[in-house]
Amino acid sequence: MSEALDQLVALAMTPTDAIPDSARRLARFSLFDWITVGLAGQNEPLSRIIKRLVGDEGGVQIATVFGGLRVPARAAALANGTISHALDYDDTHFAHVGHLSVGVYPAAMAMAEETDASAADMIDAFLVGAEAAVRLGMALGSEHYQRGFHQTATAGAFGATVAVGRLLGLTQDEFRNALGLVATRASGLKSQFGTMGKPYNAGIAAANGVEAAKLAKLGFTSSDDGIFGPQGFFETHTRVAGPWSISAQDTFLFEDIKYKLHACCHGTHAMIEALRGGLAASALPADQVAHIKIRVNPRWLTVCDKKAPRSGLEVKFSYAWLAGLVVKGISTSADSSFTDDLCADPFLQAFAEKVEVIGDAEISDTATVGEITTSDGRAIQISFDLSAKIAPDDLETGLRAKANGLIGEASSRVVWSAVDNFSSTSARSLAGSVASI
């Protein structure tokens, strides 16, 4: 077995007192945000379909699905992962190149309900699992992503396995087997972006984590090293792996998590903020915008540069259409803005022709720089970088405002109270108090 696998297992078994409180606070923010977007997305068409699937299959009623349905843990993880990514409004980790909460929290919550774990232990399990997903996502590297793999689903499945395994109390050998088993299950393709298949990827990750960890606990075995070994996940899924190293002194990279305050692809948020800032500072009317040129990291060009979106969902992945929304003054924070009617909007169709998107490898994943050209020939420089840290109190304010808009103030208060009282409640109680809002 490789040293890398040993390090990953050691991360999974991180002592409770070695987990920093600063990371735990962010993990609670992620829990609040994840529940919020899950509740907001529970009645989407894809959510109704996935709930019908797991409901029809039946089984032991042990874990809760958004809306109140109770099903086996693996089924709950599949459903809740899919539902909570339905709006594509959940957190992102740019080093991991994917969404963490929607792949890991559904698995952690389902297993915490099955084992009657405390909410605090569930949050710790999520945090360690999310950290494992970040580390593996970074090691898989941008080449894995550019080849068409969706790290939310691939690296996320390993994170879900770590979280569930921690709650099950897996031994070192059982963890090795669980991680080897999920290596042969982890999957998810970027070709699904803009369709129901993308949120399904998150559900797959969560369900795979539950399955692999439970099988290992029952005695199921795998290859010695299904991740880093010969013909393992890394050898078959990336040609250019990034660096891999974890030591006891390392900080939790999870703390670089970013939260969505716009209801569209996170890769577009820097552009939105840059445009909003430039338009506000110049007080430029929409009819005086002649051309917009933006530069972004090239990896986003295959993700959120759809030239002719066919649905409101696809508009969330279109720089040109989103630029038009900003200029027209349509809220990008409200998910209700993203209707299919946008695709036939004459203003947006015409404005899209004014937007030029250029890939620039010198620009980080979190940044956008650009220029607005006015009808009288002036050039307005714009830029924004999402990597700037937000103070925890300000982050709380922003997330609660987002929740108020998505599920209403009354429901938002219920969810916040349930999460805020994590230290004195069980995961079952927490799930029960919010699932049917």
pLDDT tens, position by position, 74-107: 999 999 999 999 998 999 998 888 999 999 999 9
126-165 pLDDT, tens digit each: 999 999 999 999 999 888 998 999 999 999 999 999 999 9
Residues 6+ apart with CB under 8 A from 302: 146, 190
Per DSSP, what are the bridge partners of residue 70? 64
Q: What percent of the chain has pLDDT over 70?
A: 99
Decide if 315 contacts 322 (C-beta within 8 A). Answer: yes
User: How many Å apart are CA 36 and CA 31, to the nearest integer?
Assistant: 8
Classified by CATH at the fold level, domain 266-385 comes out as 60s Ribosomal Protein L30; Chain: A; (3.30.1330)
Q: What is the pLDDT of residue 247?
A: 64
pTM for this entry: 0.86
Task: Kindly report the average pLDDT of the chain as a whole number.
Answer: 94
Rounded to 10 deg, the angle between the 21-41 and 101-115 helix axes is 90
Place of tokens 């290596």: 183
Residue 436 to residue 101: CA distance in whole angstroms: 20
Position 194 scores a pLDDT of 83
State mean pLDDT over 320-335: 93
Q: Is the pLDDT of residue 371 over 80?
A: yes
pLDDT confidence bin for 1, thresholds 50/70/90 = low
Dist CA 363 CA 290 (whole Å) = 24
Which DSSP string corresponds to 14-81? --GGGS-HHHHHHHHHHHHHHHHHHHHHTTSHHHHHHHHHHHHH-----EEPTTS-EE-HHHHHHHHH
pLDDT tens-place string over residues 208-255: 999 999 999 999 999 999 999 999 999 999 987 777 777 655 789 999
Do the Cβ atoms of 115 and 217 come closer than 8 Å? no
- The H or E element containing residue 368 is strand 367-374
Rounded to an integer, what distance in angstroms lies between the CA atom of residue 90 and that of residue 197?
16
The per-residue pLDDT for 251 is 80
Average pLDDT over residues 367-385: 96
Predicted local confidence at residue 249, as pLDDT: 56
- Range 3-258+392-434 has CATH code 1.10.4100.10: yes
Condensed to tens digits (0 to 9), the pLDDT of residues 263-322 reads 899 899 999 999 999 999 999 998 999 999 999 999 899 889 999 999 998 999 999 999
Does 346 have pLDDT greater than 90?
yes
**Contact predicate 146/240, CB 8 Å:** no
Confirm if 205 and 211 have CB atoms less than 8 A apart. Answer: no
Least confident residue range of 166-175, 176-185, 248-257? 248-257
Q: Write the CB contacts of 408 (distance below 8 Å, at least 6 apart in sequence).
A: none
Q: Which residue has the higher pLDDT, 29 or 97?
A: 29
Q: Is 249 exposed, middle or buried (0-12, 13-18, 19+ CB in 10 A)?
A: exposed
Domain-wise residue ranges, the chain: 3-258+392-434, 266-385
Q: Output the pLDDT for position 436.
A: 73
Q: How far apart are CA 87 and CA 265, in angstroms?
A: 10
Maximum pairwise Cα distance, the chain: 72
SS3 290: strand
Chain centroid to Cα 56, Å, comes to 28
Q: Which residues contact 16 (CB under 8 A, 6 or more apart)?
A: 124
